[in-house]
Chain A
Amino acid sequence: MKKYSKTHEWVEVLEGSKARIGISNHAQEELGDIVYVDLPEVGKEIKKGEEFMSIESVKAAEDIYAPVSGKVVAVNEKLSDTPELVNQDAEGEGWLVEVELSDPSELDDLMTEEEYKKFVEQEG
């Protein structure tokens, strides 16, 4: 089950304390054609609420904020050659990184899919 942040990232726990992170479908729509994903290095420590990587479209560069804290254990290598995967399937094949969560309780602060939908409507 995915949880969402106010900065439009999602997190999905895979197994144990390992989780996947990506940006929401709404976020990829806002960004437009994504041309480059600047992935972090495996091993990087990320901290909730802090920027840890960036995504570029033709006319914008957006910082991506960590929705949870942890250590990057894998990155989606496919994005180096096909950044458009994020446009095509932001919440599936277009995931960004996998992390080892340092504090799984942080997930509780995030929104459910339904809550996020409402949040987006209000924001827009």
Chain B
Amino acid sequence: MTIFEKSSSGRRAYTLPDQGIPDQSLGIEDYLLRKEKANLPEVSELDLVRHYTELEAKNHSVDKGFYPLGSCTMKYNPKLNEDMAALFRYLHPYQPEETIQGALRLMYELKELLMEITGTDDMTLVPSAGAHGELTGMLIIRAYHLDRGDTKRDKVIVPDSAHGTNPASAAMAGYKVLELKSSEEGLVDLKELEKHLDETVAAIMLTNPNTLGYFERDILKIAEMAHEAGALLYYDGANLNAVMGKARPGDMGFDVVHLNLHKTFSTPHGMGGPGSGPIGVKEHLKDFLPVPVVRKDGERYYLDYDVPKTIGMMRAFYGNFGVLVKAYTYILTMGKDGLTKASELAVLNANYLKALLRGVYPVAYDPDGKRPCMHEFVADGSKLLKETGIKTLDVAKRLLDYGFHAPTVYFPLIVPEALMIEPTETESKETLDAFADAMKEIVKEARENPELLKGAPRNTPVRRLDEATASRKPIVRWTPEN
């Protein structure tokens, strides 16, 4: 039941202080004033608590159970992060700088830490999410080329295994997109790349490790080729959780690097956001960063709006500061040793789970099951489909019955019936064992009792939903009639 149906006129769940100010006449033209009040629900405080408690219970979450969504890094979100963010809630962005020195110092120090982790020379903390960072990065690249009078570059190369945000961000920055076919090993195909690299290419966008979970071992060669052709190399940071302390994007040859603080640095995902997508750049791109950039002058921290060739502003104010506090807390807690350990264990967990599924589920681009992956791997469900008629979607839905969230499915697009599995470092061996057992059981069910899977899930708050009708005849808001 929606909260609107629980509403009863006259109820309320708030009180307001006495201001000591008499009622005023506002002098606004009558036709500009509301005739009918906005129909918001009227509930008591307990009604409100029950409603949202009921809703919360219907969600799967990291706190509730395993959440192996590939490329999403659903690691544990430490409680300390939340407590620390609460210390910085009541700050106004336009307060005089002298009254927010602590906040600015935190931003400055976070920036320094992230620059060291990524091997970059300057950074903006403004972007609100990974895709927002991607757009920021592509606009920086665009401004760089144009500033050099290099106007012919009108396209961006992305591998066919890339996240959908990569081509979308490049297009938003005004570029044409060229999809690069992956090699037989699921990596960037150097010969293919060479064919397309010319004076019209502005940038290559890569994720490393890539979305198949493999490290682009030719990355230095790729960087050399890109730079020789005058193109820049962009790092999609979605998979940084595999390589903290092991390899820095800046050292791999990337010019622009985005981070997903909500993934790698454990600030929570919050049902899809808010996140934070800082962009680190090499020296030659510093002057193009969006404003403001946090800087330090002696003992004073300040917001620098005077960036000579800035691309402009990506949003109002300074970014998702509340998220930055959590990432900063996490990095201080983990330190260089803990972050490195986190990446090592993330990779160990993925390889262990992959080994447990040997002989049960083939892994893409790994015929003998011996190829090491990084923090994630992609299982290929096409064999199961062929043998049993069971789709990856059915497997995903059946996993929900076992109390697990499903992996990312049908992505990357180059693997048929893909299941992309990222366990993260915060999951224990026991959890991975239990998940592998469930997967084995499901494969068995697919052979013995396929109907069980086709009708899954059964133990969830609702069962499979009619998505087709929902998109054909969209009902996008509550009304008394529907």
Direct chain A–B contact by Cβ atoms under 8 Å: yes
A84 and B471 CA atoms in complex are apart in Å by 11
CB contacts (< 8 Å) of B471 on chain A: these are 35-36, 56, 58
Q: Chain B: residues with CB nearer than 8 A to chain A?
A: 410, 467-468, 471-472
Query: Contact: A33 with B410, CB < 8 Å?
Result: no
On whether the beta carbons of B472 and A84 are closer than 8 Å, the reply is yes
Give every chain A residue within 8 A of B472 (Cβ-Cβ): 35-36, 83-84
Residues of chain B within 8 A of A56, CB atoms compared: 471
Q: Which residues of B contact A34 (CB under 8 A)?
A: 468
CA separation between A58 and B472, bound complex, in Å?
9
The B interface is mostly helix, strand or loop, or mixed, namely: helix
CB distance A58 to B468 under 8 Å?
yes
Closest Cβ neighbor of A34 among chain B residues: B468
Within A31-54, the residues touching B (CB, 8 Å) are 33-36
Q: Look across to chain A and name the residue whose beta carbon is closest to the beta carbon of B467.
A: A58
CB distance from A115 to the nearest CB of B (A): 26
Q: How far is the CA of A84 from the CA of B468 in the complex (A)?
A: 9
Find chain B residues with CB under 8 A from A59 CB. 410
Q: Mark A17-40, 1 if CB is under 8 A from B, else 0.
A: 000000000000000011110000
Per CB-CB distance, the 8 closest pairs between chain A and chain B, nearest first, are A33-B468, A35-B471, A58-B467, A35-B472, A35-B468, A58-B468, A58-B471, A83-B472
Which residues of A47-106 have CB atoms within 8 Å of chain B's CB atoms? 56-59, 83-84
- Inter-chain contact count A-B, CB under 8 Å? 17
* Whole-angstrom CA separation of A36 from B468 in the bound complex: 10
The 10 sampled A-B contact pairs (Cβ below 8 Å) are: A33-B467, A34-B468, A56-B471, A57-B468, A58-B467, A58-B468, A58-B471, A59-B410, A83-B472, A84-B468
Q: How far is the CA of A58 from the CA of B465 in the complex (A)?
A: 12
**Most chain B CB neighbours (cut-off 10 Å) among A35, A36, A59:** A35
User: Which residues of A have CB within 8 Å of B410?
Assistant: 59
Tell me the bound Cα distance from A28 to B75 in angstroms.
40
Q: Please measure, in the bound complex, the distance between the C-alpha atom of A57 and the C-alpha atom of B468, giving whole angstroms.
A: 8
Give the distance to chain A from B381, nearest Cβ to Cβ, in Å: 15
Report the bound CA distance from A59 to B467 in whole Å. 10
Chain B residues within an 8 Å CB radius of A35: 468, 471-472
CA distance A36 to B474 in the complex (A): 11
Q: What is the minimal beta-carbon distance from A14 to any residue of chain B, in angstroms? A: 28
Instruction: Provide the bound-state CA to CA distance between A34 and B468, in Å.
Output: 7
Contacts of A36 in B (CB 8 A): 471-472
CB distance from A91 to the nearest CB of B (A): 20
B377 CB, min distance to chain A CBs, angstroms = 23
CA distance A33 to B473 in the complex (A): 13
Q: In chain A, what residue has the closest Cβ to B466?
A: A33
Could you say which residues of chain B place their CB within 8 Å of the CB of A33?
467-468
Residues from chain A with Cβ under 8 Å of B467 in the complex: 33, 58
Report the Cα distance A85→B311, complex, angstroms: 48
Separation of A33 and B470 alpha carbons in the complex (Å):
11
Q: How far is the CA of A79 from the CA of B468 in the complex (A)?
A: 14
Give chain B nearest CB distance to A82 CB in angstroms. Answer: 8
Cα(A59)–Cα(B410), bound, Å = 10
- Smallest Cβ-Cβ distance to A59: which chain B residue: B410
Q: Please, how many angstroms separate the alpha-carbon atoms of A124 and B410 in the complex?
A: 19
Residue of A nearest to B410 (CB): A59
Chain A proximity of B259: nearest CB distance (Å) = 29
- Give Cα A57 to B470, complex, Å: 12
Q: How far is the CB of A88 from chain B (nearest CB, A)?
A: 12
Complex: A57 Cα to B469 Cα, angstroms: 11
A58: nearest chain-B partner, CB-CB: B467
Whole-angstrom CA separation of A56 from B467 in the bound complex: 13
Query: In whole angstroms, what is the CA distance A114 to B330 when docked?
Result: 64
Shortest CB distance B471–A (Å)? 4
Distance between B35 CB and nearest chain A CB, rounded to angstroms: 33
A58 to B468, CA, bound (A): 6
Q: How far is the CA of A58 from the CA of B467 in the complex (A)?
A: 7
Cα distance A56–B468 when bound, in Å? 10
A6 CB, nearest partner CB in chain B, Å: 20
Given contacts A58-B468, A84-B472, 15 further A-B contacts (CB under 8 A): A33-B467, A33-B468, A34-B468, A35-B468, A35-B471, A35-B472, A36-B471, A36-B472, A56-B471, A57-B468, A58-B467, A58-B471, A59-B410, A83-B472, A84-B468
